Amino acid sequence: MSNEAIAQQFLELADLTEFVGDSPFKARAYRQAAQLLESLQTPIESLAERGREALAALPGVGDAIADKILAYLQTGAIPKREQLLQTVPAGVLEVMAVPGIGAKTARLLYEQLGVHDLASLRDALMSGAVDRLPHFSPRKRERLLRLVELKHKSQRRTPLGLALPRGRELLQAIQSLDGVQQAMLCGSARRMQEDVGDLDYLVASDTPQAATQAFVNLPAVAEVYAQGATRAQVFLKSGLQVDLKVAPSERWGAGMLYLTGSRAHSIRLRQRALERGLKLNEYGVWRGAECLAADTEEAVYAALGLPWIPPPLREDTGELEAAEQGRLPRLVERQDIRGDLQSHSHWSDGLDTLETMAQAADALGYEYLAITDHAHQFADREAFEQRRRAIEQLNQRRGGRPYLLNAIEVNILPDGSLHAPDWMLRAAQFVLAGVHEAHGQPAPQMTARLIRALEHPAVDALAHPTGRRYGKRPPNDADWARIFECARALGKAIEINGYPTRMDPPTPLARVLVESGAWVCLGTDAHAARDLGAMELAVGLAQRGWATPERILNTRPLDALMHWLAQRRENP
C-alpha cells in the first residue's frame, strides 16, 4: 500500500460522488484528503499505527475520512467507493480522469453516447459523435482527443521522481547478487529524463547465466517476460518493466554507453564511427577484429575523437558538435546548490514546521531556504506577521544556519494580476508567482498573463512556468521564448521545478530558458521536509537544459543572493 494509492482512491470517490449527484461538500472533502495524501511523505500506515486520532488530526481529514483510511488499510477498499461502483461503470473513472471532463460531462457522455471507458470515449471523439452534444465544438473535441492520448501515454511512462527511487532500490538488490561484480542503472533514468518507460540495468559478471537467473528470482519481480544467457526482461510488482544486460568487465564502458542512450545519440555515434572506418556496438569500438576501446565510456568516446559527454546531454541536440568543438558546458551539479528557493511549511499547505524544514535544509548543507507559503492562505495580516516573527526567531535561535527567507508564492490570476495584497508583496523577501488556476488559456492570453505578472515590481521569479502535472494536466501553451526574454530584460528569474509530478519546464523549454540568458532558480516545491531531496531532479532537469552554475540564483552564497534581491528591488 502507498499514500499515492490511497490518494487515488479518494480522488475516485470524489469523482463518483459528483457523478451520482451527491453532496459537493463531500466531494470537496475527498479531494482535499487526496491532496494531503499525495504530498504526505510519511507512510500513512505509520500514522495509522498511532491511532484514529492521529489520522483525524491531519489537516482536512477529520473522523469520517480517518475511518475511510483505516478501512482501506484493513481491507484494501473504501466501502463507500465500492458501494458507488455498484451503480456506476468502473470505466467512467477513467473518463473523469481525463483533464477537462468533469462529472457532469462524463454523465452526459455516458447517458447520450454510452461512453463508459477510455476506449469508448476515444471512439466517440474520433467519430465526431460528441459534436451533437451541448458545448462540444470541434476544437474541444480535438483537445479532448489529444488529452485521451496523453492519458494513454501517462499510463505507459512513469515520472522520474517515482521511478528513480524504485530503480535505485532495485539496483542495491542487483548489486548484492552472487556473481555480480558491478551494476548500474542506465537508460533514460541515467539521462535524468523527466519520465521513463522502463528501467535498464547493466551488470558486469563472469557468470552471466547465473546472474540473470538470480535477477529474475528477486522478490520484486512479478513476471519474467524473456530470459537469455546475458539478458532478461521482467515486470516488477510495481508495474515497471525492467531490462537487464550482463557484460564482461572489460566491456563495461561500451555496454554502459549503449544502454544509456538515447537512441538518437547512439545512432550519431555509430555514424561517426563508420565515417572513421570503425564500428561501434555494445561491446566496444572496433577496427576490424581489433577492439580499440570498451572498458570505460571515456575510452569509447576518445576512440571516436570526442571527450566524454554527460548523460543528460545525450539527446542529439547539438552535444556531438559542441564536444567536437570543445564547447561542452560545465553543467550545474548538486554540490553547486547553496539553497532551495521554493518550499512550504505548515503555515499554508505544507506538512512540517519551520523548525523541521530548517533542520532538513541544514542536513543537506544548505545556506538558505525560501519558505514560500501560499499568499492567499494567510487569513489576515496578523497571520503573516506571526509567520514572519516565527521565521526571525528561528533564524536567531539557529544562528541563520540555514537562513530562512520570509517568502511567498502568489497565484497569478487569469488576467495576470496577483492574488495578494500590496503590503504582503512588499514585506516578503522573495516573491514567487505561479499559475494555479484557469489553465489551458489560449497561447496569446497565457503569454500576456505571465508577462503581466513578471512586470509586477514585487515579483522576483516565475514558478513552475508551464503548470504541467504528470497524468493530470499537460503544459500550458504560450510564447515561451518571449516570456523568458521578458524575464531576462527585467532581471527576473524563471524556476526549474523539481517536484516529482511537475519537473517543469520540460526539457526543450528548459533549453530555451537557458539559452535566453534569463536568471534561473531551482526549487523543489517541497510540501514536507523529505521533499527537499527533489533538488536532484531539479538539477537533472537543469542539466538537460544545458544549464551552467553562472546564471542559477541558488548557486550563489547567501550574501550574493540577498544582494541580488536588494538590487532588483532598487531597480524594479
Task: Express each pLDDT in 261-320 by its tens digit.
Answer: 999 999 999 899 989 998 888 888 888 778 899 999 999 999 999 999 999 999 999 999
- Please say if the pLDDT value at position 155 is more than 80: no
Neighbours of 479 (CB within 10 A): 16
Report pTM. 0.75
Ranges of H-type helices in 317-414 = 319-324, 354-363, 381-397
Rounded CA-CA distance 357/69 in Å is: 27
Strands 241-247 and 231-236, sheet pairing: antiparallel
Q: Take residue 334 and report the three cell numbers written for it.
A: 548538486
CATH superfamily, domain 334-570, is: Metal-dependent hydrolases (3.20.20.140)
Instruction: Give me the architecture of the 158-247 domain, per CATH.
Output: 2-Layer Sandwich (3.30)
Asked if the model's pLDDT at residue 150 lies above 60, the reply is no
User: 222 or 340: which carries more pLDDT confidence?
Assistant: 340
Lowest-confidence pick of 46-55, 180-189, 439-448: 46-55
Q: Which CATH number fits domain 254-328: 3.30.300.30, 3.40.605.10, 3.40.50.1240, 3.30.210.10?
A: 3.30.210.10
**pLDDT (tens digit, 9 = 90+) per residue, 329-376?**
999 999 999 999 999 999 999 999 999 999 999 999 999 999 999 999
User: Which residue is listed with cell 550563489?
Assistant: 556
Please report which helix (H) or strand (E) contains residue 111, including its range. helix 103-113
366 within 8 A of 338, measured Cβ to Cβ: yes
How many Å apart are CA 431 and CA 427, to the nearest integer? 10
237-263 pLDDT, tens digit each: 777 789 999 988 999 999 999 999 999
pLDDT at 88: 86
Query: What gap in Å lies between CA 64 and CA 58, rounded to an integer?
Result: 12
CA distance linking residue 272 with residue 99, whole number of Å: 44
Q: How remote is the C-alpha of 139 from its chain's centroid?
A: 29
State the pLDDT at residue 153. Answer: 46
Q: Are 214 and 177 in contact (CB under 8 A)?
A: yes
Q: Chain-wide mean pLDDT for the chain?
A: 91
510: three-class secondary structure by DSSP: helix
List phi, psi (to 5°) of 473: -150, 125
Q: Which amino acid does the sequence have at 278? A: L
Q: Which cell goes with 98? A: 481525463
C-alpha distances in angstroms, 240 versus 227, 496, 542? 17, 27, 26
- C-alpha cell read off for 410: 502568489
Spans of all domains in the chain = 3-156, 158-247, 254-328, 334-570
What is the homologous superfamily of the domain 3-156 according to CATH?
Answer: DNA polymerase beta, N-terminal domain-like (1.10.150.110)
Question: Which residue bears the cell 539559452?
Answer: 515
